[in-house]
């Protein structure tokens, strides 16, 4: 009777060891994306870039998503300054065709993988369009975006 019990305990210990041996640890670090000055009286748009770095201890597949920020929507994010809004958006690509979000509302996520331990950088492309913003008030505008890594 004691042999089947010992076998069951050994299988349980092997399963616990296997799951902890393959458990990956990943961390995310991001830079602040700064647009600088925006002059609504010119015909210039404002573009900027930031970086999201992912470091993982093992081989993993991952999905990287961004929140909509204070606007609550991906179609047009908004930076806020004392009740004034300045429209902008964040993109996965330099051509500004794929809005970086969580895969809903017309947005896209970034996907990737590690074959071994390492770090991968993703560029965030920011864009402030000129249209409909000629009356933007003077001041410092900001927004907070949450970065989510699923692996």
On whether the pTM is more than 0.85, the answer is: no
Contact 79, 139 (CB under 8 A): no
Asked whether residue 15 is domain-assigned, the answer is no
Asked whether residue 18 is domain-assigned, the answer is no
Asked whether residue 12 is domain-assigned, the answer is no
**Phi and psi, residue 100, nearest 5°:** -85, 120
- Backbone CA torsion sign across 68, 66, 45, 81: positive
Asked whether residue 100 is domain-assigned, the answer is yes
Give the domain CATH number at 60: 2.60.40.1090
Q: Which residues of 2-11 are buried (b: 16+ CB within 10 A; e: fewer)?
A: eeeeeeeeee
Asked whether residue 10 is domain-assigned, the answer is no
User: How many domains is the chain built from?
Assistant: 1
Asked whether residue 5 is domain-assigned, the answer is no
Residue-level length of the chain: 151
Question: What string of pLDDT tens digits covers the 151 residues of the chain?
Answer: 333 323 333 333 333 333 334 567 899 999 999 998 888 787 778 999 999 999 999 889 999 999 999 999 999 999 999 988 999 999 999 999 999 999 999 999 999 998 888 999 999 999 998 877 878 888 999 999 999 999 9
Q: Nearest 5 degrees, angle CA 130-CA 93-CA 62?
A: 135
Task: Identify the pLDDT of residue 23.
Answer: 64
Asked whether residue 1 is domain-assigned, the answer is no
In angstroms, rounded to a whole number, what is the distance separating the alpha carbons of residues 53 and 29?
5
Domain hosting 88: range is 25-150
Tokens of 3: 């042999």
Asked whether residue 40 is domain-assigned, the answer is yes
Task: Identify the pLDDT of residue 1.
Answer: 37
């Amino acid at each position: 009777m004691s042999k089947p019990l010992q076998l069951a305990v050994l299988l349980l210990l092997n399963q616990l060891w296997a799951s902890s041996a393959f458990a990956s640890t990943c961390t995310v670090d991001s830079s602040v994306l700064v647009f600088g000055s925006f002059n609504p009286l010119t015909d210039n748009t404002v573009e900027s870039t930031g970086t999201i770095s992912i470091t993982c201890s093992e081989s993993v597949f991952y999905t990287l998503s961004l929140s909509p920020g204070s606007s609550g929507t991906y179609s047009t994010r908004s930076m806020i300054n004392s009740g004034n809004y300045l429209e902008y958006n964040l993109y996965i690509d330099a051509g500004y065709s794929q809005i970086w979000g969580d895969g809903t509302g017309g947005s896209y996520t970034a996907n990737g993988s590690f074959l071994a331990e390492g770090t991968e950088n993703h560029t965030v492309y920011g864009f402030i369009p000129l249209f409909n913003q000629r009356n933007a008030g003077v001041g410092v505008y900001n927004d907070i975006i949450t970065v989510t890594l699923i692996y």
